[in-house]
Amino acid sequence: MTVSLEAPAVETDVSTRPSASYVRTVLALFASVLEVRLPAASYVYVVTPVTGLDAVRRLAEVIRQLEAYFAGDLTRFDIPFATSGTEFQQRVWRALEEIPYGTTTTYGALAQQLGLTRDSIQALGAAIGANPLLLVRPCHRVIGADGSMRGYAGGVERKVKLLAHEGAMQPALF
């Protein structure tokens, strides 16, 4: 059986059409859940062979949880996925998973929580930036010490909209 993993047109307050980061997240989740490797450039439109009813159920669960998140009915993902990344990246990513829905933390606070020195902040930022599972590992919840929005793979304006969606900041009035 072959399943087409095309970007679903999910209408949300965050976007009326799927962003590249949303598609990357969905495909990274699919690849991770099914424990397969996808080519780096495969996040636009991909056809990947998927076998077995269990695989289809697992993919459906990923989609269900993403839709529930955007509907405001899910605040924490429960998706088993294969691990990737270096030991340092995995350590940072586990810390990201513990940032509660509707809250933010700073790069400095996250570094302190992980016992990193100040000269490790750049490595921390790089590990956050390498996170392939943008919503599941909520890197959008990490902001600058002054409250500024730092980089986000999905774009800073989408980061702001995600934080507003979660109630961590007020939506823009203009």
- What residues pair up with 142 in beta bridges, in sequence order? 105
Q: How far apart are CA 63 and CA 36, in angstroms?
A: 18
Contact predicate 21/134, CB 8 Å: yes
Task: Note if 95 is an active site residue.
Answer: no
Other C-beta atoms closer than 10 Å to the C-beta of 69 total: 22
Contact predicate 155/21, CB 8 Å: yes
Other C-beta atoms closer than 10 Å to the C-beta of 84 total: 15
Q: Which of 139, 142, 153, 169 is catalytic?
A: 139
* H helical segments located in 35-105: 53-71, 87-97
Contact predicate 12/161, CB 8 Å: no
Among 123, 125, 122, smallest CA distance to 139 is for 125
Active-site residues, by number, are 139
